[in-house]
Structure 1
């Protein structure tokens, strides 16, 4: 096997010392002439030299990496979220290391351990299956700042918080369905819901509770297209229900197919509203009314906050809540 190109090879090619190459390639070579700097950079380019990660880490005591734990990379929501992380991380000079753990807690714990071993400077964790207290202890003991999504902002009071206004999103959905004349409503959601999903339900129910002539049932189903499709069978057995709130857009997609399986039409028989506003919503038939959350911005903001904490460890706790907006399309109508 051919040996990897080393900094010594670059030094020999450029006719300078290893120290000179190191300082120039680490942007600390101002004291060298422009000719010497050009020779070193030209030698690096000719040899296709890529600096050794471990050596760089020892020099600057930073990996300039951010660990990212995602429950399901195939989920369109997380695809957009990751894009936001990648855009902002690269802009700020960091590299994201992204792991999808397929909602497997053992795998998530293993990846968390591996990211610590690989000296990630900070972490972004989207998970409701890892214990918040354990994460906080492990990462703080290792002096690694993190942003934890989909969990309560009060669970770890001295950590940075980032969330979207899920409660208000649920309120907007209920208010719109009621204004459209729907009096019998149903919400499709998982029985063991993460904190952000629970907030959507609580906001929805708060509005329903204020209207004496409006009722709501909950249909429990997994947070997936398959779960939504299975839930449709239970929905059609609920008397008089005409307004459906799918707790996220993937569930809504499954509901579309499930209602079609039973000969039901949207929005003729049911008005359906989702939550997330993923790209495919505009291509569904009928197009999906949904709550827009700024997914790309969520990824960017999480990255900004983690890097800010990495570079300023003693700064005050950061807390951000991003707004949501109901986007009205073709899957809803008046009764």
Structure 2
């Protein structure tokens, strides 16, 4: 049994938003520890680019080890002077990496979103309190938990014997960072 979100759709929403805002050089930051979600999120990013007639550039794909603020600081240092210049960053790796990127960008004198538009993934509580507030893809975590508990109870009480899968949709949350 499983409860999951449509990661590819969430990544497409984020990437489409950035493209629709006029961004042409969009980096994608993934996490090496999130195998299937990362692959699905990269697919959504790639599909969005291609649906707008843009080429997928593997040089704009970066990996971090984990969803941490420190990883975001390191990513900023890698891409601040990248050629071709990057003007938007999508973080399917997670909001913590995006927050670390924003913090380091501000420490280096950059203005978000003027210098870099930033979009995260997860919608953790800190996404609302960072300045500027983080535009992100929300996963319905409470709903996921409710479905998972319901599946377990149904199995324990003998109401369900087969394997069930429940896919939930993400929601794109627009804030100030993009």
Q: TM exceeds 0.5?
A: yes
Q: Distance in 1 between matches of 2:56 and 2:39?
A: 18
Structure 1's unaligned 5+ residue stretches are: 1-159
User: Cα distance 1:215–1:260, how it changes in 2: closer, same or farther (>3 A)?
Assistant: farther
User: Cα distance 1:275–1:329, how it changes in 2: closer, same or farther (>3 A)?
Assistant: same
Residue equivalent to 1:298: 144
2:167 is aligned with 1:321: yes
User: Cα distance 1:221–1:283, how it changes in 2: closer, same or farther (>3 A)?
Assistant: same
Note the C-alpha offset of 1:213. 4.1
1:175-324 aligned at under 5 Å gives the runs: 175-191=16-32, 193-213=34-54, 216=57, 217-223=60-66, 224-238=68-82, 239-247=84-92, 248-312=94-158, 315-324=161-170
Note the C-alpha offset of 1:215. 5.2
Structure number with greater Rg is 1
**How many residues of Structure 1 are paired with residues of Structure 2 in the alignment?**
173
User: Cα distance 1:314–1:191, how it changes in 2: closer, same or farther (>3 A)?
Assistant: closer
Note the C-alpha offset of 1:314. 5.4
Tell me how large the CA RMSD over aligned residues is.
Answer: 1.7
1:101-180 aligned at under 5 Å gives the runs: 160-180=1-21
Note the C-alpha offset of 1:326. 0.6
Please give the per-residue CA displacement for 1:25-62, whole angstroms capped at 9, x wherever unaligned: xxxxxxxxxxxxxxxxxxxxxxxxxxxxxxxxxxxxxx
Please give the per-residue CA displacement for 1:234-272, whole angstroms capped at 9, x wherever unaligned: 121222211110121111111112212332221110000
Q: Distance in 1 between matches of 2:121 and 2:41?
A: 9
Q: Distance in 1 between matches of 2:177 and 2:160?
A: 48
